[in-house]
């Protein structure tokens, strides 16, 4: 008999390990995640509910994707992962945080593959009734709250949100609207000019 984790007879495998051979479990999980995130948003969707939709053991979600943030990233192909990088950025010298945030984002966007995916995601997110609230919740939880948690000031969430709005505006203006002078500016010049603004939002 086979249980939900794909265990058969005496050849037992670790919980959540996929069955040998071809399986559509990963694709079913992704399809279920699209529906669950679309209906309940990032905060409302749970790994257990997604597993239920897909008809798999919840452990399989962690095997294939890791965390809920990882699953959302796979679902909508997020090219930049603030949840992974922000803790390292804010842990460094405080006087350099603003510049490091700007430099990280721009250097990532210099990669053609990342830039193509990021622009597609930005276009899909802006004004889309399905993806806008999901991305907003993801950024709130995985970017804004992580930055705010490192600031240790009463208005930390507002400060982090202002910094996020600065970065979002820069990305739209440089890569989607393509304002000529901004689109042509070298990365380090933008770091020098925008970094202090982000720094001021966060700490001054």
Kindly report the backbone phi and psi dihedral angles of residue 173, in degrees, each rounded to the nearest multiple of 5, phi listed first: -70, -40
The per-residue pLDDT for 96 is 92
Which of 81-90, 97-106, 189-198 has the weakest average pLDDT? 81-90
Look up the pTM and report it. Answer: 0.64
66: left (phi over 0), alpha (psi -120 to 50) or beta: left
Distance from C-alpha of 157 to C-alpha of 149, rounded to nearest angstrom? 8
CA distances from 204 to 95, 143, 147, 195 (A): 11, 20, 15, 13
The per-residue pLDDT for range 11-33, each reduced to its tens digit, is 444 444 444 334 688 889 988 88
Give domain 1-76's CATH number out of 1.10.540.10, 3.30.565.10, 1.10.10.60, 2.60.40.740.
1.10.10.60
The per-residue pLDDT for 44 is 81
Domain positions in the chain are: 1-76, 82-203
Smallest Cα–Cα separation from 195: which of 125, 54, 95, 82?
Answer: 95
Q: Which comes out higher in pLDDT, residue 121 or 90? A: 90
Give domain 82-203's CATH number out of 3.40.50.10860, 3.90.480.20, 1.10.357.10, 1.10.10.60.
1.10.357.10
Tokens of 100: 């490091």
Distance from C-alpha of 7 to C-alpha of 11, rounded to nearest angstrom? 7
Distance from C-alpha of 125 to C-alpha of 122, rounded to nearest angstrom? 5
Decide: 98 and 202 in contact? Cβ < 8 Å: yes
Tokens of 128: 């889309």
Furthest-apart CA atoms within the chain: distance in Å: 67
pLDDT-based confidence at residue 77 (cuts at 50, 70, 90) = low
Q: Helices in the chain by DSSP H: which ranges?
A: 25-44, 47-54, 58-65, 68-76, 82-90, 97-109, 112-125, 131-139, 145-151, 156-171, 180-184, 187-203
Residues 6+ apart with CB under 8 A from 2: 8
């Amino acid at each position: 008999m086979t249980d939900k984790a794909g265990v058969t007879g005496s050849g037992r495998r670790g919980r959540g390990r996929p069955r040998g051979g071809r399986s559509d479990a990963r694709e079913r999980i992704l399809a279920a995640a699209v529906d669950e995130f679309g209906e309940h948003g990032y905060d409302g969707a749970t790994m257990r509910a997604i597993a239920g939709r897909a008809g798999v053991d919840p452990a399989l979600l962690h095997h294939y994707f890791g965390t809920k943030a990882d699953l959302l990233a796979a679902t909508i192909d997020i090219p930049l992962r603030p949840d992974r990088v922000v803790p390292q950025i804010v842990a460094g010298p405080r006087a350099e945080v603003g510049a490091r945030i700007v430099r990280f984002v721009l250097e990532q966007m210099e990669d053609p593959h990342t830039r193509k995916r990021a622009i597609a995601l930005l276009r899909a997110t802006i004004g889309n009734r399905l993806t806008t609230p999901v991305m907003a919740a993801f950024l709130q939880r995985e970017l804004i709250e992580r930055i705010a948690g490192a600031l240790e000031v009463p208005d930390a969430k507002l400060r982090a949100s202002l910094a996020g709005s600065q970065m979002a505006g820069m990305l739209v203006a440089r890569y989607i609207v393509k304002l000529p002078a901004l689109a042509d500016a070298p990365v380090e010049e933008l770091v020098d000019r925008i970094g202090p603004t982000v720094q001021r939002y966060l700490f001054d």
